[in-house]
Amino acid sequence: MSGAARQVLPVGAVSTCVHCGCDDLHACAGGCAWARVDRDLGVGVCTCCTDKVMVAHWEKRALYAAEVTRG
């Protein structure tokens, strides 16, 4: 989406885990919290998925997405 305007989510928007799909309103069975979350993009990695998702890789992709969409 080169050249596209960055879509900033409204205040109070729900963020979703990129691996399991849990969100701010629907935690994993047994409970979870955000290990990493980008509220502007509305995505994150929950504590139940940190062993399944390479968090460092996710952070690089989130930073890249933020840079691309700012333009």
pLDDT at 4 over 70: no
Split into its structural domains, the chain has a count of 1
Residue 9 within any structural domain of the chain: no
Inter-residue contact 28 to 56 (CB < 8 Å): no
pLDDT tens-digit profile of 37-62?
A: 988 888 899 999 988 877 777 677 66
Interstrand relation of 16-17 and 43-46 (parallel, antiparallel or unpaired):
parallel
pLDDT at site 52: 81
Residue 22, Cβ density class (10 Å: 0-12 exposed, 13-18 middle, ≥19 buried): buried
pLDDT at 69 over 70: no
Residue 29 within any structural domain of the chain: yes
Inter-residue contact 4 to 69 (CB < 8 Å): yes
Residue 10 within any structural domain of the chain: no
Q: Where in the sequence is the domain holding 57, given as residue range(s)?
A: 16-70
